[in-house]
Structure 1
Amino acid sequence: MVKDYLKFRNAIKKDQNLSLEESYMLELIYDYYNIAYGYAYPSYEILMADLKTKRKAKVSKLIKSLVKKGYISVDKVGKKNTYKLLKYLFLNNPVDSDGKPPLDGQVHFSELTDEEKEVIKLGFTEKQAKSLLKGAKDKIDKVVQAFNYAKDKGAGNLYKYTLWGINNINKIKKTFEIAFTSEEKWNPKTKFDNFQPREYDWDSLEKRLLGWEV
């Protein structure tokens, strides 16, 4: 089964019970909806980035409103919130390139790989998962490493930062490697080396390299 975006968007467009922001939130949940699992599980950080807001309260308010109006239900799976669509989950049977339904046992071109499923579990869409794995040459550990790095840095847009990290994480580590740890003492080797090394704000420097600070 595959999602029918056209039917979904036509339905919410005609629904006068939804505000513009509620419609967009519902569309995000539909985008992240995993048919195999029966729910969507984007993190608050991802939803905040998609809504272009820094306020968790705004995301929470929209989710509570959709629950109250009966469009979604929210459950906990581990530490993550999962969102189940109660309305407008339009699905179609997949077809092959010749327009015919796939034969029994035949793998459909849109079927997810195990690696894609693992990346989707991090909170990415199917399209994003495919893009990240392509950049990482199908190495799931590289995607996870870049994702964890992005989370540690508090990235607003986890997808873009993860994609950037996949291509640059080794460069980052090399650039921001500090010669002296906090436990090591500075010890000049010659009389010409009698000054303390300059200290840097590494987080600020990295953001400048990324173009996030001027």
Structure 2
Amino acid sequence: MTKDYLKFRNSIKEDTNLNLEESYLLEVLFDYYNTSCGYAFPPYEILMHDLKTKRRAKISKLLKSLEKKGYISINKKGKKNIYYILKYLFLNKSNSKVKQKHNAPVDSNGNIPVEGQMHVEEIINTKEHEEVIKITGFNKKQADELLKAADKKVDKIVQAFEYSKSKGKAVFAYVRWCIKNLDIASLIKRETNRVEKHKLKFYNFEQRHYNYDKLEKGLLGWDNNINISECIL
């Protein structure tokens, strides 16, 4: 199944029951609609970013309006919302009988590899996909999207995934958003420097040295003439 963006956009463009912001939010939900799952599940942070607002209340108000007007329904899945599109969900059925074009790289002789033969680029891609799937737990299609967004840099995906986990939002849509919109390496470096600076500040004092013989006598009351401050060397 594939999404028909043209039909969708033409339909909401002609819908006078939607204001501009509602139309745009519905379009964002359509963008994040997963045809395999049958719903969209972008985090609030992504919706806020795409609508260029810092107010969660604004997103909440628009979502409730779309739900009340019958364009979407909202369900809870754990602590997250999942969104079902009830109107203008135009999907095209893929034709499985269409012969796929062979786009495998040719071998060193310029010939298409025989069945079962793999090109070195395909092997590298397979290893990268497996590594991303193993680290994130996402499926192959999602791993492919992340690799495209990260220019096939697995370390960049790992950084985005770990950053997302630290924020309690290790879901595919947010990880992809982080890769596309944030400089994760700089954020991690900044956080590391902040922690190290805090440690240095905490331990930045000179150790005191005592005359332990005097200190013992003073603390045990063996010599009442000893002042504790006199025990510091």
Into which bin does the TM-score normalised by the smaller protein fall? 0.5 to 0.7
The SS at the match of 1:75 is strand
The Cα shift of 1:88 comes to 1.2
The Cα shift of 1:138 comes to 7.1
The Cα shift of 1:56 comes to 1.4
Unaligned runs of 5+ in 1: 103-112, 153-157, 189-214
Residue 3 of structure 1 aligns with which residue? 3
Query: Is this contact kept in 2: 1:146–1:162, CA < 8 A?
Result: no
Residue 100 of structure 1 aligns with which residue? 98
Residue 72 of structure 2 aligns with which residue? 72
Larger Rg: 2
Per-residue displacement from partner, 1:117-163 (whole Å, max 9, x unpaired)?
Answer: x6989xxx9997454443542775333113346779xxxxx536864
Which aligned runs of 4 or more in structure 1 are off by greater than 6 angstroms? Answer: 125-128
**Separation in 1 of the partners of 2:92 and 2:46?**
27
- Matched AA of 2:206: N
Residue 52 of structure 1 aligns with which residue? 52
The SS at the match of 2:46 is helix
Unaligned runs of 5+ in 2: 101-128, 170-176, 208-233
The Cα shift of 1:95 comes to 5.8
The structure carrying a bigger helix percent of its residues is 2
The SS at the match of 1:134 is coil
The size of the alignment, in residue pairs, is 168
Q: Would you say 1:184 and 2:203 are equivalent positions?
A: yes
- Structure number with higher relative contact order (C-alpha < 8 Å, ≥ 6 residues apart): 1
TM norm structure 2? 0.57
**Separation in 2 of the partners of 1:82 and 1:132?**
23
Residue 26 of structure 1 aligns with which residue? 26
TM norm structure 1? 0.61
**Separation in 2 of the partners of 1:46 and 1:120?**
19
**Separation in 1 of the partners of 2:31 and 2:44?**
15
The SS at the match of 1:10 is helix
Query: Is this contact kept in 2: 1:48–1:56, CA < 8 A?
Result: yes
Residue 134 of structure 1 aligns with which residue? 151
- Matched AA of 1:11: S
